[in-house]
Amino acid sequence: MAEKVLISIENRYIKSVVLKSLFEQNFDFVEVLDENDLMLKLDIFRESILFYIIEIDSRKYMAQYSLIKKLKSDTGMSGFSIMAIIHEGTTEIVSGAKDAKIDDVFLVPEKRELLRDSFNKRLSQYLKKFPTTIVNNPEWIEYRKNIV
């Protein structure tokens, strides 16, 4: 079974970049709709979830950070790794991510054309902290190439 990444990303362009990057790294992804959906998917896929990527919304970031704090403290998942994608790098939003114990913050570049390369570099750095337990089955890789 492939390692899974939970994602919660509203912006379609950013989502397309993230999904393509995850696909190229041979990850499966599971989309999260809301807090209840997050808890359900963690319950179902817990053993195969590697980390969670969440897009922080500047209008509701406090609620998102509160959810992340709750996730890391109340559910016994203190070591669960989270990457936040932030559009507006205000001090308040970035420091809130740190307070919520988010493991990595990716600030979206102002120039849209830089997003793909900068996200891929950040994702590569982020993945270095995980053990290399991901098995790249040649048949599965060939199958994936044929569907694209």
Q: Each residue of 121-135: pLDDT tens digit?
A: 999 999 988 765 543
**Residue 65 reports pLDDT greater than 80:** yes
Check residue 103 and give its pLDDT. 93
pLDDT for residue 135: 38
Please provide the DSSP assignment of 81-129 as one string: -EEEEESS--HHHHHHHHHTT-SEEEEPPSSGGGHHHHHHHHHHHHHTT
Residue 3 reports pLDDT greater than 90: no
Tens of pLDDT, residue by residue over 10-52, are: 999 999 999 999 999 889 999 999 999 998 998 888 888 899 9
Q: What percent of the chain has pLDDT over 90?
A: 61
